[in-house]
Amino acid sequence: MKIITILLLISAICYNIQAQTVPNGDFEFGSDTLSLNDWHSINEITGIFFPFTRTTDSYSGEYAVKLQTLEIFSTKVPGVVTLGNLSIGDVQGSIYFPYKPDKLIGMYKHPTDKDASQIRVYFLKKQGDKVDTIAQEVFIPEGNVNEYQAFEIEITYNSPSIPDSMNIILISDLEVSNSTFFIDNLEFVYNTNAVTKPLESKIDVYPNPADSYLYINPKDLSNRKYLILNLFGEVLISGIIEENNLIDISTHPSGIYFLVVGSERIKIIKN
């Protein structure tokens, strides 16, 4: 009887540890190289064109994810995989996840220059009849990374609440043909001593609030890709930082946005 109890306890502990990780985050499990257990891919929609593959060009283990933007009948179709639900032009839904990790880490390669491939992660909490996003972060890889290197996404929560669900989206650039993105070994990192607080950015943006233009400092960011996201994490505009380090936001309505450059994510306000 004691042996059975011990085995059940070990099983429960192992399940709890597994539940706190990214499901199939090493991408080892799938029925073939065009499908991935626990994830949904763009392949399920395209049917005969496959912007997503499970590739043997991995950092460790047998497989990694390869996403590539294909041009099909003059239409660019990005590689996309997500833990949520995928439909044409949209990703919705999430998976049950009552945990609060501090980082998402992994390995990536990105041999395409100056595009906006992304890793997005967000955490949700149901509050009565509505669902609040209590954390959302994005990583945009550097271009011409031809060997696997580590990345990390620090997760900042805007609420002390524990989330009840989570989603991760991996996507190659929406606008650049042959944009290619490799990802492997996704894993959450937990720090029990962490507190909820804003991250300090290494990039200065001013004026903030702004009326028409944002100035980006330091100056060596020119020719880097940037994104402007709304509060839902949707990309409103992407572009290249010009040599004058100015970004034109004059056409955006007043409100709160996020400027993303590389792994930096800065809250901006448009007057």
pLDDT digits (tens, 9 = 90+) for 39-95: 999 988 887 889 999 999 999 889 999 999 998 888 889 999 999 887 766 677 899
Check residue 8 and give its pLDDT: 36
Shared-domain flag, residues 130 and 9: yes
Q: What are phi and psi of 234, to 5 degrees?
A: -80, 140
CATH number of the domain encompassing residue 213: 2.60.40.10
Residue 198 belongs to some domain of the structure: no
Asked if residue 197 belongs to a domain, the reply is no
Closest C-alpha to 42, from 31, 30, 50: 50
Q: What is the DSSP secondary structure assignment for residue 230, as one 8-state letter?
A: -
For residue 78, cis peptide bond before it (omega within 30 degrees of 0):
no
In a domain, 165, yes or no: yes
- Domain span at 258: 204-270
Q: Let me know if residue 121 belongs to a domain.
A: yes
Are 195 and 160 within 8 A, CB to CB?
A: no
Q: What is the CA radius of gyration of the chain?
A: 20
Alpha-carbon gap, residue 10 to 4, rounded angstroms: 10
> Does residue 211 fall inside a structural domain?
yes
196 located within any domain: no
Taking 80 as the threshold, does the pLDDT of residue 5 lie above it? no
224 shares its domain with 93: no
DSSP β-ladder status, 80-82 and 40-41: antiparallel
Peptide bond between residue 207 and the one before it cis (omega within 30 degrees of 0): yes
- Whether residue 140 sits in one domain with residue 7: yes
pLDDT at 201: 53
One domain, residues 94 and 66: yes
CA distances to 51, 140, 244 from 65, in Å: 11, 16, 37
Q: Is 228 within a domain?
A: yes
Same domain, residue pair 74 and 8: yes
Strands (E), 56-179: 64-68, 70-72, 75-77, 80-82, 85-87, 90-92, 95-96, 103-110, 118-127, 130-139, 145-154, 165-171
Task: Among 189, 212, 234, identify where a domain stops.
Answer: 189
Give me the chain's average pLDDT, please.
82
Domain boundary among 162, 189, 216: 189
What does the angle CA 185 – CA 86 – CA 140 come to, to the nearest 5 degrees? 45
Task: Tell me which of 222 and 140 has the higher pLDDT.
Answer: 140
Cβ–Cβ < 8 Å for 172, 51: yes
129 with 58, same domain? yes
Q: Is residue 199 in some structural domain? A: no
Provide, rounded to the nearest whole percent, the portion of the chain with pLDDT above 90: 39
Tell whether 90 and 220 lie within a shared domain: no
By CB neighbour count within 10 A (0-12 exposed, 13-18 middle, 19+ buried), where does 15 fall? Answer: exposed
The domain tally of the chain equals 2
- What residues contact 17, with CB distance under 8 A and at least 6 apart? none
Residues 143 and 106 in one domain: yes
| 153 plus 254 within the same structural domain | no
Domain holding 62: CATH number?
2.60.120.890
Q: Which of 189, 215, 247 is the last residue of a domain?
A: 189
- Cβ-based neighbours of 199, under 8 Å, separated by 6 or more: 154, 156, 265
Residues 16 and 96 occupy one common structural domain: yes
Q: What is the pLDDT of residue 263?
A: 62
Residues 81 and 163 in one domain: yes
Residues 119, 139 contacting (CB under 8 angstroms): yes
- Give pLDDT, residue 12: 37
What would the pLDDT profile of 111-144 be if each residue is shown by its tens digit? 988 788 999 999 999 888 888 999 999 998 877 8
pLDDT digits (tens, 9 = 90+) for 230-258: 766 667 777 788 778 888 888 888 887 87
Q: Which of 32-36, 114-118, 221-225 has the highest mean pLDDT?
A: 32-36
Same domain, 65 and 90: yes
